[in-house]
Chain A
């Protein structure tokens, strides 16, 4: 199975900051990568799919990029509601796998 390693595992930031989360894959993913946000006690919410396509309704301060085995999720100008845990997911090769998560909390 493809392993996804997110870095950092946790991150402290302030409102208004720009943050970047990296997802590294053990194999080439082509464009089969998505990002999710999960708040405590809530279901994951799809943010970005196909590496860089923003899901409908997701604020434009979220963006995704990358290729091959390295991908990034960037949040510009952090808002209070953005402090959550973020997961990457690959759907390029069976079985579908997720990264271990990156927790973003207040500095």
Chain B
């Protein structure tokens, strides 16, 4: 069965780069026709879509974050990653990776358990 698991540093200094990895089991990202995305949720607040990518290399980012975001794939490890540059306190959030079945403009049917990232010096 499909499972996603986020990992990465829980603390990032202001102006630095936030880097998280999502490990996928139960499916091969490089052979799947599904899309894979990142969503974040500041403590006590709602959900914000960050971006989605496809194995072909196509990426789709939220315009509000596009200048700072990169999502990439590591096929050898069946993982995909999120890099968010120049972080501030406003980037403190739980970061989720998730699957969007068969299309970028889709719902997310499988989610990781989340990784909490705090921005502080």
Interface string of A60-91 (1 = CB under 8 A from B): 00000000000000000000000000010101
Docked Cα-Cα span, A1 to B65, in Å, equals 13
Which of these, A1, A55, A87, contacts B47 with CB under 8 Å? A87
**What class of interface size applies to chain A in its complex with B?**
20 to 34
Q: Are the CB atoms of A96 and B112 closer together than 8 Å?
A: no
List chain B residues, Cβ under 8 A from A34: 107-108
The chain B residue with its CB closest to the CB of A42 is: B113
Docked Cα-Cα span, A1 to B64, in Å, equals 10
Q: Are the CB atoms of A89 and B46 closer together than 8 Å?
A: no
* Interface assignment of B54: CB less than 8 Å from any CB of chain A: no
Known A-B contacts A92-B105, A97-B49; A43 and B96 likewise in contact (beta carbons under 8 Å): yes
* Interface assignment of A46: CB less than 8 Å from any CB of chain B: yes
Docked Cα-Cα span, A91 to B100, in Å, equals 11
At the interface, is chain A mostly helix, strand, loop or mixed? loop
Interface string of B3-29 (1 = CB under 8 A from A): 000000000000000000000000000
Q: Are the CB atoms of B106 and A98 closer together than 8 Å?
A: no
The chain A residue with its CB closest to the CB of B66 is: A95
Residues 6-56 of A contacting B (Cβ, < 8 Å): 32, 34, 36, 42-46, 49, 55
Residues of B within 8 A of A (CB): 46-49, 52, 60, 62-64, 96, 105-109, 111-114
| 8 closest Cβ pairs, A-B complex | A34-B107, A43-B111, A96-B49, A98-B47, A49-B107, A91-B105, A95-B62, A100-B46
**Given A95-B62, A101-B46: 9 more A-B contacts, CB < 8 Å:** A44-B108, A45-B111, A46-B109, A49-B107, A55-B109, A91-B106, A94-B105, A98-B46, A101-B47
- For this complex, 9 residue pairs linking A to B, each with C-beta atoms less than 8 Å apart, are A1-B63, A34-B108, A43-B113, A46-B108, A49-B109, A89-B47, A96-B49, A98-B49, A101-B46
